[in-house]
Amino acid sequence: MSTPRGEMLVLSSDSAFQLKLIPLNPYEFTGAGVELPESCEAVETIRSSPEFGLRPLSESDLHGILNSITGDKGPKLNLDDILKRAPRSLDDLSVDIPSPILRGPVLMRPDLGSLSPDILKRQLSLDRSAEKTFRKRYPERAGMFF
């Protein structure tokens, strides 16, 4: 039996980290991480995706999405069209006229190793390092899981 573990890529404008997390409780984690090189192709692919944020939807946006899903006649709208819009801050959103908001995108992938062979290689190394750290810091807990 093994403990649930989380793999994560954390990106900023000038750096990227690959993390392997082992939860200790809902608020604390242990694990390992490594900074990715600037030339990582998988990171550049992710960076080229739309920026996370809030995008208000108009009534015509909703009709377009509904037409796209149901195949009804009328103008259709692809979510990519909405995601290409610049995200807005909470302060910029109108509080006087409530409207639906698209939040995202949040990119999730069940297995980060499938992004690239380099990511997979680091993932396997981080697995070993995170388990070693967990065993060293929490030997009584590690015995239950590993």
Give residue-wise pLDDT tens across range 11-41.
887 889 999 999 888 889 999 999 998 888 8
Rounded Cα–Cα distance for residues 133 and 112 (Å): 21
For the chain, the structural domain boundaries read: 1-49+107-146, 51-105
57-93 confidence digits (pLDDT tens): 888 888 888 888 887 787 777 778 888 888 888 887 7
Nearest Cα to Cα of residue 34 among 16, 46, 57: 16
Residue 53's identity, in one-letter code, is G
DSSP string, 114-132: GS-HHHHHHHHHHHHHHHH
Say if residue 2's pLDDT is above 60: no
Residue with tokens 């192709």: 41
CA 84 → CA 12, 48, 60, 88, distances in Å? 19, 11, 16, 12
